[in-house]
Amino acid sequence: MFSDDEIKARIILKLYRHGKWGASHTSFENLKKGFSLRDLGKDGAKRVDKIGKEMIKSGLIMSHPTGYGKEISLNPKFSQELLLIVQKFFPDIE
């Protein structure tokens, strides 16, 4: 089962690999894609939602409301911090 920090790192990595920085954003609902419910434990996708919302509050992820839902992207102001979080679990990422 993934820890909260590992889920956070995987969310950042997913957005990073898709180039979702600043004005390039994706739906908040896409955060859950790619996670196996078996790896998330008891609350499953709700944990990913909760961690995603915490990341928005802390400023690591920027939120952009639209008519069809919440869009998110990585905050370029925290690029170094975001990469350090990812490298903790995925050391091969530059």
Domains, the chain, in order of start with CATH, read 4-89 (1.10.10.10)
Amino acid 78: pLDDT: 92
Helix (H) / strand (E) containing 66:
strand 61-66
Give this prediction's pTM: 0.88
- Per DSSP, 30 falls in state G
Percentage of residues of the chain with pLDDT beyond 90 = 33
CA–CA dist 31, 86 (Å, integer)? 15
Q: For position 94, what pLDDT does the model report?
A: 67
| pLDDT tens figures, 12-56 | 999 998 898 988 888 888 888 888 777 777 777 888 889 999 999
What average pLDDT does the segment 79-88 reach?
91
- If one compares 1 and 15, the residue with the highest pLDDT of the two is 15
